[in-house]
Amino acid sequence: MQETLDQIGIGGMTCASCVARVERALQSLPGVQEASVNLATESARVIWSAPPSDHEARLRRAVRDAGYEPLSAEHLTQTHTNIWVDFLPVAVGLMLSLPLVFPMLAGLFEFHWMLPPLWQFVLATPVQFILGARFYKAAWHAVKAGSGNMDLLVALGTTAGWLLSVGLWWSAPMDAMPHLYFEGSAVVITLVMLGKWLEARAKRQTTEAIRGLHALRPATARIVAADGEQTIPIEELLVDDLVVILPGERIAADGRVKQGSSQVDESMLTGEPLPVSKAPGSILTGGSINTDGRLVMQVTAVGTDTVLSHIIGLVENAQAAKAPIQRLVDQVSAVFVPVVLVLALLTFVVWWFISGDVALSLIHCVAVLVIACPCALGLATPVAIMAGTGVAAQSGVLIKDAQALEIAHKVDTVAFDKTGTLTVGRPQLKLCVSLTTESSEHWLAIAASVQSASQHPLAVAVLQAASSQAIVHIEPESAHAVAGLGTQAVVHGQTYVLGSVRWIESLLNEANIKPQSHAISSVFIQAQTLQNEGATVSVLAQCVNSQVQLCALLAFSDEPKPEAKNALQALRDRGLRLVMISGDNQGAALAMAARLGLRPDEVRAEVMPADKAACIRDLQRVEHGQDSAHIVAFVGDGINDAPALAAADVSMAMANPDGGGTDVAMQAAGITLMRGDVRLVAAALDISQRTVSKIHQNLFWAFVYNVAGIPLAAMGYLSPVVAAAAMALSSLSVMSNALLLKRWQARNH
């Protein structure tokens, strides 16, 4: 049975230990191949190898049995939730806790005053058992599951403080004013709740990119019906419907312009700030904005088949996936809470042995329990990935998985496909030279017939040249492409081949025709001259009775992208090795390389599509004096470069500006560049470096809080209140540090 992917939202998780428990519960289900839980997105991705018919219900039951609330997978994209509603319990906790803390604050100013024990009890108990009920509930589920989490530590610590205070109060003489610790328990619960509220508020900021993409979908579309224009819900839109888009409206689905012309703002999809001109035949992408003219569009894709839906899917998958570095966190969190419980018990025993004071020993034990809560540890990696992938998507860089994000910053070699990546990708026919007594127009008509069924850029150039000269061509009787070489077709009953010089040379050799003969030799000299000038040369030949007759030379020219030269220099300035891989002949490839500022040793020419993967592996090879292999990124169009994209350590697919192959590009590579701007390569490497840096910073601070805080609490330097504040601050600092990535912008070099 085919693999099935399920996504489910999970409410109630608080730390890395919760993540580990939910993952164990999901992975224990029969048929589950892999389960990955993300604390920051509060969701899980489950891959079934053999899903039962009721697999969704089983997932929800497993989450509930683990002690958490199963939610819709789209719960984070809902925009109507008011975060301030969730602040009400925190506000109540603050109001009840403040009178308990006031005497402690007053003591700093030599003003000694204490609430009566009864009032302390009345104020602290609702906080402990009503507002804090969530901690007891979650802790009980953790105990039943044979594990621990943040809630267990908070529940144990605050309950111990509350019970100690009640015991001291009841055992004290009637008129005495014993020192109680109600304020510690109440303030700890309030601060933890405040920290979780601030954390939830910050999480919403990390998911703004996803919510923004969802908001690009208009609710309705205006279609051309038999009885005039009609507004329908977008869910009812069908392929081939004609949709009217007025100025200022969002485009409802993917399609092609049927009537009208306008400027379209595609910035939310591609990061391109300038509007793009659209005319009949132009590609329109759902979610973009029509700025000034009335357009009529024929729908080509709806629902989950649209580019916008695929973009949303890629960003959601990247944000839900775990980076490889997360494995270390998972290993630590699996044993963290049990170790903390042992340390807290040791703290109590040692202090009791040293001081003989049960109250003092218990307070230090509580401080250890509270400060050790592993909230920040579980958030360190996912919040950075969410922020990084979200801001990258807004600049036109789609990161498909967390592994690509983590590896990209290590890249030391960037290899580029030439046509369509470094060049404009729209070659034009520069010259058509007849090699027979027939006119060049005659052979151009034959060439157009041969290429009429092909979408290759050179074929398009031939057809455009024939059209511009009003040359009529017929449909071939048959035609088929020879990968990496050219096209063979039957026109007027005759077999013709049109392709690269090396292919024609091989056909001549097979026919026992010597290229050294004067007539043929002069053709290849002419072809070589054109190639050395930077042209891509194709040869049209006729095959008759196993013989090959040369008919015409066609020379094509392509232009480098305007920003390509500076973008390549910017990459070189970062210390990267650059390579251009081309199927063109050596002369044409070197001529284009010179225009791009590349050196001859940075060019790999005459590389067949199937051989590009071997070329990538050659670039990865360990060189003399090196300890490890090169980390290679390959940038191509994501269609004929698929083998090279698969072989590279980091694959970047540059989406076709005309829309062709965009969907394939997004599926073929770990990173998709949504517009044909070479500068986005540096942007992708830069956001990877910054995101990984944030992950390392977050993990450092998360570990520091615990590694430094636990010994300080055990030695008696931290009270439970200070420990709770530090614990809340650790989560907040991790979230805030990750949110700094939202300031990142792709630089135009």
pLDDT, tens digit, for every residue of 140-162? 887 877 776 777 778 888 888 88
Structure tokens at 341: 């419980």
**Mean pLDDT over residues 110-127, rounded?**
81
Query: How far is the C-alpha of 366 from the C-alpha of 154, rounded, in Å?
Result: 9
- Ordered by where they begin, the domains of the chain are 4-73 (3.30.70.100), 85-209+316-386+690-743 (no CATH), 218-251+254-301 (2.70.150.10), 397-423+561-687 (3.40.50.1000), 428-557 (3.40.1110.10)
Least trusted range by pLDDT, from 73-87, 430-444, 449-463, 727-741? 73-87
**Mean pLDDT over residues 712-720, rounded?**
86
Q: Which residue has the tokens 């540096």?
A: 682
pTM greater than 0.85: no
Dihedral angle over CA of 173, 179, 185, 190, nearest 10: 120
pLDDT for residue 666: 56
- Residue pair 199/732 in contact (Cβ under 8 Å)? The answer is yes
Q: Is the pLDDT of residue 593 over 70?
A: yes
pLDDT for residue 454: 80
- Residue pair 661/637 in contact (Cβ under 8 Å)? The answer is yes
pLDDT in tens, 293-330: 899 999 999 888 888 887 777 777 766 666 667 666 76
Contacts made by residues 134-141, CB under 8 angstroms, sequence distance 24+: 134/12, 135/189, 135/192, 137/67, 138/12, 138/14, 138/18, 138/67, 140/67, 141/66, 141/67, 141/68
497 phi and psi angles, rounded to 5 deg: -125, 140
Strand, coil or helix: 553:
strand
Q: Is the pLDDT of residue 749 over 80?
A: no
pLDDT for residue 292: 84
Q: Is the pLDDT of residue 252 over 70?
A: yes
182-206 and 117-126 helices cross at what angle (nearest 10)? 30
264 phi and psi angles, rounded to 5 deg: -120, 130
- Residue pair 366/184 in contact (Cβ under 8 Å)? The answer is yes
**Mean pLDDT over residues 78-88, rounded?**
65
pLDDT in tens, 181-207: 787 788 888 887 887 787 777 667 666
Model confidence band, residue 1 (pLDDT cutoffs 50, 70, 90):
very low
Closest CA to 194 of 232, 154, 238: 154
- The better pLDDT of the pair 145, 24 is held by 24
Q: Is the dihedral of CA 525, 528, 533, 537 positive or negative?
A: positive
Q: Which helix (H) or strand (E) holds 34?
A: strand 32-38
pLDDT for residue 448: 93
Pick the catalytic residue from 417, 558, 649, 677. 417
Least trusted range by pLDDT, from 148-157, 217-226, 614-623? 148-157
- The better pLDDT of the pair 661, 44 is held by 44
pLDDT for residue 523: 80
Q: In what order do the strands lie in the sheet with 428-434?
A: 428-434, 547-557, 536-544, 494-500, 486-491, 478-482
Q: Is the pLDDT of residue 488 over 80?
A: yes
- Residue 507: Cβ within 10 Å count: 19
Residue by residue, DSSP assigns 456-477 as SHHHHHHHHHHHHTT------S
Residue by residue, DSSP assigns 175-234 as T------HHHHHHHHHHHHHHHHHHHHHHHHHTHHHHHHHTTS-SEEEEEETTEEEEEEG
Least trusted range by pLDDT, from 179-183, 189-193, 216-220, 467-471? 179-183
**Mean pLDDT over residues 353-369, rounded?**
86
- Residue pair 720/185 in contact (Cβ under 8 Å)? The answer is yes
pLDDT for residue 76: 52
Mean pLDDT of the chain: 82
Query: How far is the C-alpha of 295 from the C-alpha of 141, rounded, in Å?
Result: 58
Least trusted range by pLDDT, from 78-87, 234-243, 650-659, 701-710? 78-87
Least trusted range by pLDDT, from 32-46, 206-220, 265-279, 323-337? 323-337
Burial class (CB in 10 A: 0-12, 13-18, 19+), 649: buried
In this prediction, what percent of the chain has a pLDDT beyond 70? 87
618 is catalytic: no
Q: Is the dihedral of CA 631, 636, 639, 640 positive or negative?
A: negative
Closest CA to 185 of 724, 726, 716: 724
- Residue 685: Cβ within 10 Å count: 23
Q: Is the pLDDT of residue 446 over 60?
A: yes
- Residue 713: Cβ within 10 Å count: 28
- Residue pair 344/365 in contact (Cβ under 8 Å)? The answer is yes
pLDDT in tens, 631-663: 999 998 756 677 788 888 998 988 765 554 445
Q: Is the pLDDT of residue 377 over 80?
A: no
One-letter amino acid at 168 equals L
pLDDT for residue 524: 80
- The better pLDDT of the pair 684, 18 is held by 684
Query: How far is the C-alpha of 6 from the C-alpha of 178, rounded, in Å?
Result: 57
Beta strands 397-399 and 671-673: pairing type? antiparallel
- 150-160: burial string, b at 16+ Cβ within 10 Å, e else: bbbbbbbbbbb
Q: Is the pLDDT of residue 97 over 80?
A: yes
Q: Which residue has the tokens 């920290």?
A: 195
In this prediction, what percent of the chain has a pLDDT beyond 90? 19
Q: CA gyration radius for the chain?
A: 34
If phi over 0 gives left and psi between -120 and 50 gives alpha, with beta otherwise, what is residue 532?
alpha
3 phi and psi angles, rounded to 5 deg: -65, 145
DSSP structural state of residue 560: B
Model confidence band, residue 79 (pLDDT cutoffs 50, 70, 90):
very low
pLDDT for residue 518: 47
H helices of 127-173, where? 133-144, 150-171
- Residue pair 496/473 in contact (Cβ under 8 Å)? The answer is no
Structure tokens at 343: 């340390």
**Which distant-in-sequence residues (6+ apart) come within 8 Å of 455 by Cβ?**
660
Query: How far is the C-alpha of 12 from the C-alpha of 16, rounded, in Å?
Result: 12
- Residue 287: Cβ within 10 Å count: 25
Query: How far is the C-alpha of 537 from the C-alpha of 556, rounded, in Å?
Result: 6
Query: How far is the C-alpha of 660 from the C-alpha of 484, rounded, in Å?
Result: 19
Q: Is the pLDDT of residue 291 over 90?
A: no
